[in-house]
């Protein structure tokens, strides 16, 4: 007989009942199969159910929920002495909780609360040893704060020449910082499952812990959180002059590959011991151009600041040269040729051959004031909103 599925069309399947004598043995096997299957199914259902419950029982936004009074107590009513500086999204204060734990509190400008809660729940899920740890939030009336772990060793920008706290580290620590930032960025881009583009990676957004381990900061809020948005074009250019990839100036195109560019610039800064925006050499070339020229002339050794990097033996020199080569791959003008961050991590930690970089892209700022001018591929683009 043909089974009819109610929509008027006969099923192509033909159901045939085969009758055969069921022995007791078959019955026992069938029954135990059924019971076993049912038990497994029940276990799976229970597991799924408890997982859902586990997720629900966490706070709706994730992380801790701090009361405003707790933050007022921790910062002596947000006093000037506790003010650490102002980041991309707001003023940052240092606080000490009643249990003596040190925290950093970022005050946000007023924003849509629903959107903020959604973003905070995403940020709360980001946990990696090379990201500054997110501890929680405080949304009370019109006051909005995010709370992070406090790191005592300041940001990487204090370790370059020309900074008040110019400090030297040994090569092992420098290499560890470079690899740490690469791992943190790999996590944001690929391993977090959220395709996060940082958009403003620079030394002042890399904090160092007491062992000089690198932790990326300011990865929260107003970032691209998914693939559709990770290539988004935007008129109001985020990012910081010098670290921002040429295509971000030209087309406002932020992507994981523009973060890779910023990473490359940071590595070059470490190598020469100078910040890109204060970089000086006899030929008046920019940092990227300077390193590229020396690379092309096979004189990489000349760009390494051996004293700043604490370079001693030949092996360390080779590791530093390798870092230069990887950095030049990251700042290539053609963004499709820039490696992904997991490849960068791989290049940095393996003895395998690193490809030869092609020409870098960079923006040259004319001497004196006036907006910096972008001259990539002989196309000159004026920058409308210089930021530093």
67: contact with ligand NAG by CB under 6 A: yes
Site size toward ligand NAG, by CB under 6 A: 14
Classify strands 214-216 and 363-364 as parallel, antiparallel or unpaired. Answer: unpaired
- How far is Cα 74 from Cα 64, in angstroms, rounded to an integer? 15
| Residue in 94, 74, 201, 206 with CA at minimum distance from that of residue 150 | 94
Laid out side by side, the sheet with 373-376 consists of: 363-364, 373-376, 379-382
- Kindly state the smallest distance separating residue 282's Cβ from ligand NAG, in Å: 4
Phi and psi, residue 348, nearest 5° = -70, -30
* Cβ–Cβ under 8 Å, residues 181 and 266: yes
- Kindly state the smallest distance separating residue 125's Cβ from ligand NAG, in Å: 15
- How far is Cα 97 from Cα 64, in angstroms, rounded to an integer? 13
Buried b (16+ CB within 10 A) or exposed e, 181-197: bbbbbbbbbbebebbbb
200 is catalytic: yes
Residues in contact with ligand NAG, shown as a per-residue x/- string from 105 to 144 under the rule CB under 6 A: -----------------------------------x----
Which member of 7, 19, 57, 77 binds ligand NAG (CB under 6 A)? 77
- What are the residue ranges of helices labelled H in the chain? 24-57, 68-74, 113-124, 171-186, 227-230, 246-251, 256-272, 287-296, 306-309, 314-330, 341-349
- How far is Cα 209 from Cα 130, in angstroms, rounded to an integer? 10
For ligand NAG, the closer CB: 214 or 320: 320
380: contact with ligand NAG by CB under 6 A: no
Q: Stretches 56-64, 167-175, 224-232, 334-342: which one binds ligand NAG (CB under 6 A)?
A: 56-64
307: contact with ligand NAG by CB under 6 A: no
Which member of 70, 176, 277, 375 binds ligand NAG (CB under 6 A)? 70
Which member of 16, 19, 283, 313 binds ligand NAG (CB under 6 A)? 283
Please give the angle made by the CA atoms of 35, 37 and 41, to the nearest 5 degrees: 115
Which member of 11, 32, 50, 69 binds ligand NAG (CB under 6 A)? 69
Sorted by sequence, the CB contacts under 8 Å of residue 353 that are 6+ apart come out as none
Which among 142, 165, 200, 378 is annotated as catalytic? 200
Region 79-98 residues binding ligand NAG, contact defined as CB under 6 A: 98
356: contact with ligand NAG by CB under 6 A: no
Q: Stretches 17-25, 65-73, 204-212, 377-385: which one binds ligand NAG (CB under 6 A)?
A: 65-73
296: contact with ligand NAG by CB under 6 A: no
- By annotation, the residues acting in catalysis are 200
Q: Which residues bind ligand NAG (CB under 6 A)?
A: 59-61, 65, 67, 69-70, 73, 77, 98, 140, 281-283
């Amino acid at each position: 007989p043909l089974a009819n599925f109610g929509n008027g069309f006969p099923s192509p399947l033909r159901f045939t009942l085969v009758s055969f004598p069921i022995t007791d043995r078959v019955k026992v096997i069938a029954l135990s199969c059924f019971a076993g299957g049912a038990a497994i199914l029940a276990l799976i259902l229970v597991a799924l159910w408890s997982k859902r419950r586990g997720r629900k029982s966490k706070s709706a936004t994730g992380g801790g929920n701090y009361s405003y009074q707790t933050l007022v107590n921790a910062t002596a009513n947000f006093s000037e002495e506790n003010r650490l500086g102002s980041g991309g999204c707001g003023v940052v204060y240092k606080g000490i909780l009643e249990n003596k734990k040190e925290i950093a509190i970022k005050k946000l400008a007023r924003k849509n609360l629903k959107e903020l809660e959604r973003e905070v729940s995403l940020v709360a899920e980001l946990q990696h040893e090379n990201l500054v740890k997110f501890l929680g939030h405080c949304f009370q009336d019109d006051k909005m704060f995010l709370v992070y772990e406090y790191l005592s060793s300041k940001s990487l920008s204090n370790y370059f020449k020309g900074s008040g706290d110019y400090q030297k580290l040994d090569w092992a620590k420098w290499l560890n910082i470079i690899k740490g930032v690469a791992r943190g960025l790999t996590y944001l881009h690929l391993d977090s499952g959220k395709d996060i583009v940082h958009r403003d990676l620079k030394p002042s957004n890399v904090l160092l812990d007491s062992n000089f381990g690198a932790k990326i900061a300011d990865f929260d809020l107003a970032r691209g959180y998914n693939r559709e948005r990770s290539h988004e074009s935007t008129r109001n250019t985020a990012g910081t002059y010098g670290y921002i990839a040429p295509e971000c100036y030209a087309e406002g195109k932020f992507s994981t590959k523009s973060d890779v560019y910023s990473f490359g610039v940071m590595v070059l800064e470490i190598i020469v011991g100078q910040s890109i925006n204060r970089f000086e050499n006899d030929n008046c070339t920019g940092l990227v151009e300077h390193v590229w020229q020396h690379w092309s002339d096979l004189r990489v050794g000349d760009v390494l600041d051996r004293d700043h990097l604490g370079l001693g033996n030949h092996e360390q020199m080779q590791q530093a040269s390798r870092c230069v080569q990887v950095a030049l791959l990251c700042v290539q003008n053609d963004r499709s040729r820039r490696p992904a961050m997991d490849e960068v991590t791989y290049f940095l930690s393996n003895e395998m051959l690193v490809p030869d970089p092609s020409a870098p892209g960079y923006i040259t700022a004319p001497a004196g004031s006036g907006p910096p001018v972008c001259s990539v591929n002989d196309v000159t683009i004026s920058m409308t909103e210089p930021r530093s």
